[in-house]
Amino acid sequence: MSRFQATLLALAAVGLLAAPMAALAQEEEADPPVLRLSFFMCDFRGDNGEAVEEELTTRVIPVWNALVDEGRVEQYGYFYHWWADEWNVGIYTLAESIQAIIDAEEEAGNRLEAQYGDGPSPFFEACPHHRDGFYTMGPNTGMDRAAGGS
């Protein structure tokens, strides 16, 4: 066997060994994101609603926009119900892992405290009770249709 043939054989063997690792890396990249849902019981009587909206639009969302721009999370936002139970406000966070969400939440808190202090928050005054859950995203209409959808 010539030196050239031996080199080609060695490269082919390396390629065969690297293929499963590349497939594994693609599988890891394809892991579905994690969704955190936080639900709150909020009282929006009086001026509470306006104060909360002001806080969210001028303070909270800009901090989370920066975290999205930095790649720490994919999305963050609020939703409100028209007809449901007493858990009337929700926050969603979408990221690659539970730890990414926890880290982003801590960083957001640090940034908000650095900018605005740790005084009372209109949101937490109006929404004193909450519960959290972490979920793995399943099949959805936003999935790549070329990957088997129609």
Residue 133 near residue 75 (C-beta atoms within 8 A)? no
Would residue 45 count as lying in a domain? yes
Sign of CA dihedral 119, 43, 79, 131: positive
Would residue 83 count as lying in a domain? yes
pLDDT at position 142:
77
Would residue 21 count as lying in a domain? no
pLDDT at position 148:
56
pLDDT at position 140:
86
∠ CA 76-74-142, nearest 5°, is 100
Would residue 78 count as lying in a domain? yes
Would residue 52 count as lying in a domain? yes
Which residue stretches of the chain have pLDDT < 50?
2-27
Would residue 143 count as lying in a domain? no
Which residues form the domain of 84?
34-138
pLDDT at position 29:
56
**Domain tally for the chain?**
1
CATH number (domain holding residue 82): 3.30.70.100
pLDDT at position 2:
46
Would residue 54 count as lying in a domain? yes
pLDDT at position 4:
38
pLDDT at position 30:
59
Would residue 26 count as lying in a domain? no
pLDDT at position 15:
40
- The candidate with the shortest Cα–Cα distance to 62, out of 6, 124, 111, is 111
Give CA–CA dist 44/24, Å, rounded: 49
pTM for the complete prediction?
Answer: 0.73
pLDDT at position 72:
98
